[in-house]
Structure 1
Amino acid sequence: MPTYTLASSVSAEIDIRKSRFIACAIPVANRDEAMRELDGLRATHPGATHVCWALLAGGQSGMSDDGEPSGTAGRPILEVLRHHEVDGVLAAVVRYYGGIKLGAGGLVRAYTDAIATAMQQAERVERVERGLIGIELDYADEARVRRWIEQHEAELVESAYGMTVRLVVRMAAAAREPAALELRDLTNGRAGIEVRT
């Protein structure tokens, strides 16, 4: 069964009784990346009263009410993510308090509505697990292998030049073993291929 993530980040802003709620849904690879995104949001909104969030990222899920009453922010945000059946997504809502208390029920509705508004704009895409392969090859084979990388929607993430050319490529994890065979054939067995975990 496929899992889905977001094609790109989306955001929306709603005002409820003078409080501003800025919702962001951001595709992330893992919890570490999500925490960096949250740090960025806090830096962008230093005057915000709360930055509440929920994360669905495989086994690295989590949530935070960030000072709001327990269960009024993180859990409602998480439920919206679950409703949209996504993974690898950080949903955060930045709140600027407007001076009027909303009560627990009002907060749950506000955080739910804010992130739901952002998610309505989101484009879901199938989430493909990606992995790395290392390729060591002769200079004579480099142009051919670079063409192969472009044709196979792989991403060149590193290249180093010494006695040989060393390339590191990110691609769909399931395609790495067949890719290793194709690259060996392409270079007449000269390339050394390492499928990395």
Structure 2
Amino acid sequence: MADEADSPQSRTSSYTTLTAGPGFRAEIEVKRSRFITVLVRTPDEDAARAALAGLRKEFHDARHHCSAFVLGPDRDVQRSNDDGEPSGTAGIPMLEALLRRETTPGVADLSDVTAVVVRYFGGILLGAGGLVRAYSESVSAALELAPLVRRSRLRICAVPLEHAAAGRLENDLRAAGYVMAETRYEPQTTVLRLALPDNPGELARAADRVAALSAGSTSLLPGETAWVDVPVS
């Protein structure tokens, strides 16, 4: 999935986030208290707060709806809330769990994610240390199972050609390992769109491949850069 052109302020060209969708849920139990973690992909603070509001409504009978989110390619927006738990025992441990999640060994780059932990109190007090461990473990355990994608800033290139030839060339490009953005259909042509690393060497190699696979009937036309979801290998 490709988004609008990237912001020039971003210093990062790639990070990890959740796959697009309604979110991911997991649950643990600690001394009869239920901790239900909901992870939601959220592009901005409005979306994060909307996700929290929706979960408050869904789990309206729960005692706590603690939350944390980290947003932006550079992870420069970070917030947390204890929602009635003792200060520092819920939101901050949740945020730290998001920030320290290594998506590859030695690389912690998860972003655009909101975590909400809904707690149903089980009647046994956990103490400050117990709460910190429970909220941290709840988010960490959910992240271990949640589906992730790479979010990369790529150059979107157009390949216009006749409708009848588009299907075969698209299959050939996918088989060659290229990431395809959304195809566009125009009255006289189909425009295949490739998402390529934004450097001259990669663009030149892709142009040569397109020319070879199409027998010279079309060419690669570089366009804007955009954020694109790339499956995690």
Question: Which TM-score applies when normalising by structure 1?
Answer: 0.69
Taking the aligned partners of 2:70 and 2:207, their CA distance within structure 1 comes to 34
Q: Give the deviation of 1:160 after TM superposition.
A: 0.9
- Residue 27 of structure 2 corresponds to 13
How many residues align structurally? Answer: 192
- Residue 116 of structure 1 corresponds to 140
- What aligned pairs does 1:48-63 form with structure 2 within 5 A after superposition? 48=62, 49-55=64-70, 57-60=72-75, 61-63=77-79
Consecutive unaligned residues in structure 2, runs of 5 or more = 1-13, 103-107, 226-233
Taking the aligned partners of 1:37 and 1:182, their CA distance within structure 2 comes to 45
- Indicate if the aligned counterparts of 1:56 and 1:87 stay in contact, CA closer than 8 A: no
With over 3 angstroms needed to count, the CA separation of the structure-2 counterparts of 1:14 and 1:158, relative to structure 1, is: same
- Indicate if the aligned counterparts of 1:180 and 1:195 stay in contact, CA closer than 8 A: no
Taking the aligned partners of 1:123 and 1:79, their CA distance within structure 2 comes to 19
Deviations for 1:49-99, whole angstroms, at most 9, x for unmatched residues? 314123265324423216245433232122223333232352513223427
Consecutive unaligned residues in structure 1, runs of 5 or more = none
Taking the aligned partners of 1:15 and 1:62, their CA distance within structure 2 comes to 27
Moved more, 143-152 or 10-19: 10-19
| Match of residue 185, structure 2, among 160, 164, 180 | 160
Does the residue aligned with 2:133 lie in a helix, a strand or coil? helix
Letter in 2 for 1:158: T
Taking the aligned partners of 2:45 and 2:101, their CA distance within structure 1 comes to 23
Q: Give the deviation of 1:165 after TM superposition.
A: 1.7
- Indicate if the aligned counterparts of 1:30 and 1:57 stay in contact, CA closer than 8 A: yes
Identity of aligned residues (%): 30
With over 3 angstroms needed to count, the CA separation of the structure-2 counterparts of 1:37 and 1:167, relative to structure 1, is: farther
- Indicate if the aligned counterparts of 2:101 and 2:110 stay in contact, CA closer than 8 A: no
Q: Which structure shows the higher helix fraction?
A: 1
Q: Is structure 2 residue 59 aligned with structure 1 residue 35?
A: no
Question: Which TM-score applies when normalising by structure 2?
Answer: 0.60
